Amino acid sequence: MRLAVLGAGAVGASVVELAADYGHSVTAFADSSSAVVDSDGIDAADALAAKRTDGVVGSDDPSDALSADYDVLVEATPTTLGDAEPGFGHVRTALERDRHVVLANKGPIAERFPEIRSLEAESAGEVRFGATVGGAMPVVTTIEDVGPSRISAMRGVLNGTANFVLSRMAAEGLDYEHVLAEAQDLGVAEADPSFDVDGTDAALKGVIVANVLDPDGGYTLADADVDGIEDLPGSMLELAKEDGRTIRLIVEFADGQVRVGPRLVPENAALAPAGTRNAVQLETEHAGQLDISGRGAGGAETASAVLSDVERLES
Amino acid sequence: MRLAVLGAGAVGASVVELAADYGHSVTAFADSSSAVVDSDGIDAADALAAKRTDGVVGSDDPSDALSADYDVLVEATPTTLGDAEPGFGHVRTALERDRHVVLANKGPIAERFPEIRSLEAESAGEVRFGATVGGAMPVVTTIEDVGPSRISAMRGVLNGTANFVLSRMAAEGLDYEHVLAEAQDLGVAEADPSFDVDGTDAALKGVIVANVLDPDGGYTLADADVDGIEDLPGSMLELAKEDGRTIRLIVEFADGQVRVGPRLVPENAALAPAGTRNAVQLETEHAGQLDISGRGAGGAETASAVLSDVERLES
């Protein structure tokens, strides 16, 4: 397949780097201010080097990437809320051109799912978004395989930064601010970690799962009930530990409601993964509880999920 | 889809019971001595009641099921070793008739994989066998999605009976014979539990995973290095516990070799599931370690995996 990759952050760059290894070519690659387009396939190494040294991927205009020759648009620009632009517009343009779309950007699926589905219904292109929830963990594909109507609830740890902070607070008896600063030093938390620690990122993933499990629900972030971990005192984790428990930022979808917040869980439970790992639990009708865990983020991890979605388009 | 279900044990019976709920009809259903065939769809409740009360599913001959009208043959007869008959012959007949085949029977995939693949290559029918490994746990589908060549190793707990026995031995400090008798009383272990406790069942699943991960390897049970748990003294579990570890019957495929045997694992590790639960770990190239756990067996659980495979045939 010929891929147009929009977004040159960790995920977009990794997709460009790994595409050939998965048997695909990249015919367009853009960040917010530049692009490189070549219908014979761009030179991935050149573009990635240009991005590192000059801050631009090439000398073309970003809009050229959208109108380039490609089979699949890979939407890996940063997640935005509300109208989910410019990601939503990219998806619409590709679908109107009867092209496939694979998203790593959570915005369009979390905020404008019914519109995406109706654009897809009018298009010869298909939309996939497994990479938006849990990176390479097979969350969306497992739900599709089991059948959304046969799953009554999802619970999960879907933000690695918040999980790292809570793990460290519990293990070391340290306070939130101290651990967050450490996480920022390690590169586990961003300079502005708001979306990770206030529950927004986990909520977006919960909303996406809600839209898969209940396709007519039209869930958006506004429907989610969200608490973060910023105000959690270290003493709460000590109290939990005395009882063999710990605290995790859990996102849940059940009974038509997405909820995110710190919850008590048994210390060694499937929903208490260590460090930055993620975990998801599905309650199924005929097969009991299914647990999946893995690395929920990371450039190569999420890129491999994007490329698995590309392969699914072919089958 | 119209299903012909061969085998009226827990899995076959559950497939017949659940088929309508998944939008399929059953046009043939057979056990080893009887069958019921109706191209308009059999009465599932009648056939299951007849099996319970009279020991036969209907008044037709088992061979009639194989020549009936159907789109998918569901092979759920008991797993046999070596020539894997009669299961293998059923699969061949269906593929020669250009029909799809979904297996819950491990024999043909573990013992005669290259022949199955070459019969499939000559047929318009497709073969799926996700239910043979870990019941409804998405093991085979996750390997397909990640890509077999991008997974370097698999480790797992894939026999619920052996896992139950080891869990109980560790928790109660009891000996093997005592716990096995208890498991038989509870219906967790069969009257003849040999294949579960001697490692054969786990090895068959390991061989199937090996055939998926290395499709040209042509692995069979004879290639596996297998130890069971029958001779494990309770004192070994006590010794492990003092060190924060426990013992599980682990099946591993790595470096071209299938190995099964009791192994030391950390007490709360992903590979130390509780009771009859199963767990699988995949080492991936780009996404680190993926963990999956769930109920690895059971009629309804395995039947739901069979029916997910049927849905995959349609996509």
Which residues in A lie closer than 8 A to residue B293 (C-beta atoms)?
Answer: 270, 290-291
Model confidence at A297, in pLDDT bands (50, 70, 90)?
confident
Write down the catalytic residue from B205, B245, B248, B295: B205
DSSP helix/strand/coil, B8: coil
Task: For residue A138, give the chain B residue with the closest CA.
Answer: B142
Model confidence at B296, in pLDDT bands (50, 70, 90)?
confident
Q: Percent of chain A beyond pLDDT 90?
A: 94
Task: For residue B304, give the chain A residue with the closest CA.
Answer: A286
Please judge whether A308 and B270 are an interchain contact, meaning their C-beta atoms are less than 8 angstroms apart: no
What DSSP line would sit under B17-50, residue for residue? Answer: HHGGGGT-EEEEEE-SS-EEE-TT---HHHHHHH
Structural tokens at position A196? 């990770």
Domain A2-136+299-314 architecture = 3-Layer(aba) Sandwich (3.40)
Give B160→chain A minimum CA distance, Å: 14
Domain ranges of chain A: 2-136+299-314, 139-295
The pLDDT tens digits for A181-219 are: 999 999 889 889 999 999 999 999 999 999 999 999 999
Cβ-based neighbours of A23, under 8 Å, separated by 6 or more: none
Mean pLDDT in chain B? Answer: 96
Please report the ipTM that was assigned to this predicted complex: 0.90
Model confidence at B297, in pLDDT bands (50, 70, 90)?
confident
Backbone angles phi, psi at B191, to 5 degrees: -55, -45
Nearest Cα to B199, choosing from B175, B173, B225, B238? B225
Distance between CA atoms of B203 and A101, rounded to whole angstroms? 41
Which residues in A lie closer than 8 A to residue B284 (C-beta atoms)?
Answer: 136, 304
Nearest Cα to B298, choosing from A291, A289, A281, A154? A289
Using CB atoms, which residue from A150, A289, A294 is nearest to B287? A294
The pLDDT tens digits for B116-170 are: 999 999 999 999 999 999 998 999 999 999 999 999 999 999 999 999 999 999 9
Q: What is the pLDDT of residue A268?
A: 87
Task: Give the catalytic positions of A in this structure.
Answer: 205
Using CB atoms, which residue from A145, A287, A291 is nearest to B135? A287
Annotated binding-site ranges of B for NADP(+): 7-12
Model confidence at A315, in pLDDT bands (50, 70, 90)?
low
E-assigned strands of A135-208? 151-157
Please judge whether B145 and A308 are an interchain contact, meaning their C-beta atoms are less than 8 angstroms apart: yes
Please judge whether A287 and B293 are an interchain contact, meaning their C-beta atoms are less than 8 angstroms apart: no
Question: Exposure pattern of B93-132 as b/e (b: 16+ CB <10 Å)?
Answer: bbbeeebbbbbbbbbbbbbbbeebeebbeebebebbbbbb
Q: Which CATH homologous superfamily contains domain A139-295?
A: Dihydrodipicolinate Reductase; domain 2 (3.30.360.10)
Using CB atoms, which residue from A18, A135, A145 is nearest to B308? A145
